Structure 1
Amino acid sequence: MTERQRRVWDRSAPRYDRQIALLERTWFAGGREWLGSRARGRVLEVAVGTGLQLPYYRDDVTVTGVDLSPEMLAVARGRAGEGVTLREGDAERLPFGDEEFDTVVCALGLCTIPDPVAAIGEMRRVLVPGGRLLLLDHVVSTWPPVRACQWLLERLTVPMAGEHFTRRQLPLVRQAGFDLEEAERLKAGTVERVAARKAVLGSGP
């Protein structure tokens, strides 16, 4: 599955920014600013892709971006300024030690990661106690007619690109033992922003 996902995103890399541009301006509007304003300290961005999130981070953070696709990373390097490190890696087996980062960000990535439970577990592992998890993604709608359309769309997108529209990450974040700080659903409930903290020892799971 990992190799298949890598091939899919390697092929998509040259045209990805053009394909998602309209959705970035409409469906996900404001989401990247929301993530960037909340990221602090040593930031790990999982599934950094072509680096669309990179311009939105504050100047006083250091950013490490990890992605499965070398071709997506090649595009991201064109956006990476000082304080940004990019490396190849699998979200389900992050190539970092325990408690290395103050913030973990994942923007529009968990919808395509084959095992989101494993990925969120890895995000928790690499966060310091009290570290912040920030997520932006498209999720299953709160409106039944939209949910039905999402289910139908998945009949194409899951086999072709492993992209899911009927997932929701918030229950997995809670299941992983994070303390929820903020959660916001937009666009008929199809877009969700989540901010949560890794519990400090003795204060939670």
Structure 2
Amino acid sequence: MNNSKELYKQKSKQTFSNQASIYESTYNGKHAGKLYRSVIGKVNSFNCKKVLDVGCGTGTILSLLSKNNGINLSGVDLSEEMLSVAKQKLDDKIELKIGDSEQLPWKNNIFDAIICTDSFHHYPEPKKALREMARVLDTNGHMIIADPWIITPFRQVTNLLLKYSSSGDYKIYSKSEISKLLFESGFDDVEWTRINYNSFIVTAKFSK
């Protein structure tokens, strides 16, 4: 990876490490919180039993999902500080690891679902991340992404400005852009839906 893309990761890591202790009360935390219900609804509708949360942060959605005793849960995040907060609120049975979406620390064909909530827009190599997520998904596993959305043309302007931001945001995706990424990464059955005025959720299936 070139240095400019590595810089996005470092900015993201620093942003969330700094916010870890107060994350739920920040803009980022509040935005993510509005997505949880939709993501959990998809996990339940697909009857998922072994779920990986990529970019799990402080573990709030894992905590909510843990109320369903039939689900085996794991989480991964770049920030040790965010995971430290997550460990304080989660049962020891929930597996948490430091890691990168492009190099997930699990073997092939482990999970029947991956959730990625308010995190995907930070990934400077989105196709590489999706292919890595596909690697750890079992046959017919589900991908569930919830992320920010901005109407055209404001999205294009925002994306031009992001490279000057210190937050680590890489790109805000349109419906067609995120759908194309999923198709090109080997996913099918792509379904995109607006959650609210500034967020979407997209689901897809990986058939090996």
**TM-score scaled by structure 1?**
0.82
Q: Which amino acid aligns with 1:14?
A: S
Q: CA deviation at 1:159?
A: 2.4
Q: CA deviation at 1:14?
A: 1.8
Query: Which residue of structure 2 aligns with residue 177 of structure 1?
Result: 186
Cα contact 2:103–2:132 (8 A) shared by 1: yes
Q: Quick one: which of 12, 24, 27 aligns to 2:19?
A: 12
Query: Which residue of structure 1 aligns with residue 51 of structure 2?
Result: 43
Q: Which structure carries more helix by proportion?
A: 2
Stretches of structure 1 lacking an aligned partner (at least 5 in a row): 201-205
Q: Which amino acid aligns with 2:168?
A: G
| Structure 1 stretches of 4+ moved >4 Å | none
SS in 2 for 1:53: helix
**RMSD, matched Cα:** 2.5
**C-alpha distance in 2 between matches for 1:69 and 1:39:** 29
**C-alpha distance in 1 between matches for 2:31 and 2:189:** 27
Q: CA deviation at 1:148?
A: 1.6
Matched, 1:69 2:79: yes
Query: Which residue of structure 2 aligns with residue 33 of structure 1?
Result: 40
**TM-score scaled by structure 2?**
0.81
Change (3 A) 1:43 1:118: same
Residues matched between the structures, number: 194
Matched, 1:101 2:135: no
Q: Which amino acid aligns with 2:15?
A: V
Change (3 A) 1:175 1:10: same
**C-alpha distance in 2 between matches for 1:41 and 1:13:** 28
Query: Which residue of structure 1 aligns with residue 167 of structure 2?
Result: 161
Stretches of structure 2 lacking an aligned partner (at least 5 in a row): 1-5
